[in-house]
Homo-oligomer: A and B are copies of this chain.
Amino acid sequence: MRNEHYLIAHTIPIFSTLGEREFECLLNMTYLQSFPAGTQLIEEGDPSEFLHIILKGVIELFCSSNNRETTMFVLRPVSTFNLSAVLENTSYSMSARTLVKSKVLMVPAENMRKVIEVNAAFAHAMVSELAKRYRSLINAFREQRLLSSAERLANYLLRASEETSVGLQVKLTENRRTLAALLGMSPEHLSRAFNKLKDYGVEAKGGKIILANLKELKQFSESTG
């Protein structure tokens, strides 16, 4: 093991199946790079050269069409992106930029494809990872089509409260602008969505949100028209 960063990378699910030797092989020719905030790391459509592993900071994955842009995901350590493009040896399906100063491990795509060929457990881990991502993307797509902006926000807050809440308080990890983009709405509209949720016990003060009435909020997010 060369240093702490590699140890960190080894802990994530898709790499934990690998033995020391194979992991070393995977990391051959890997770059560790730091980027300032606002740096575009990859451009949608470019051929995939690396699997990116985010070790520090925040990365936004986004897509563009017709001079418009939408945020697909906001990623934090420790996670990877571009997996599907790398495995298929095709072009990136999304662009990526840093939202804050970030540290990224860049594993040559070819290494991934080589190791997958010889290591069945690694292939199974890929299957599992891709299936999970597929399912979560299905859910995001469904929410986009079926739920209003306020309902999407309610769902987001409820999920966040399951993961990170202290009592009824949720601490937002994104600023309002980023959260709006992630939920597929304008920043102005996010403000109004928060206002609407006040009726359901959502008190928002900066990055701290209090969900005073979980039951009503759930009811709103699940059954309102």
Contact = CB atoms under 8 A, between A and B. Distances in A.
A123 interface: yes
A135 B85 contact: yes
A26 B146 CA distance: 37
Given A70-B146, A72-B141, 11 more contacts: A63-B146, A64-B146, A65-B143, A66-B151, A68-B146, A84-B130, A84-B131, A88-B135, A93-B138, A120-B120, A130-B131
Interface in A126-148: 126-128, 130-135, 137-147
A94 interface: yes
**Total copies of the chain:** 2
A137 B135 contact: no
A195 to B, nearest CB: 20
Nearest to A151: B66
Instruction: Classify chain A's interface size.
Output: 35 or more
Contact of A137 (B66, B120, B137): B137
Q: Dominant SS at the A interface?
A: helix
A142 B143 CA distance: 13
A207 to B, nearest CB: 25
A196 interface: no
What 8 pairs between A and B have smallest CB-CB spacing? A130-B130, A84-B131, A63-B142, A123-B123, A70-B145, A65-B146, A84-B134, A88-B131
A156 to B, nearest CB: 14
B137 A87 contact: no
Given A126-B127, A137-B138, A146-B70, A132 B63 contact: no
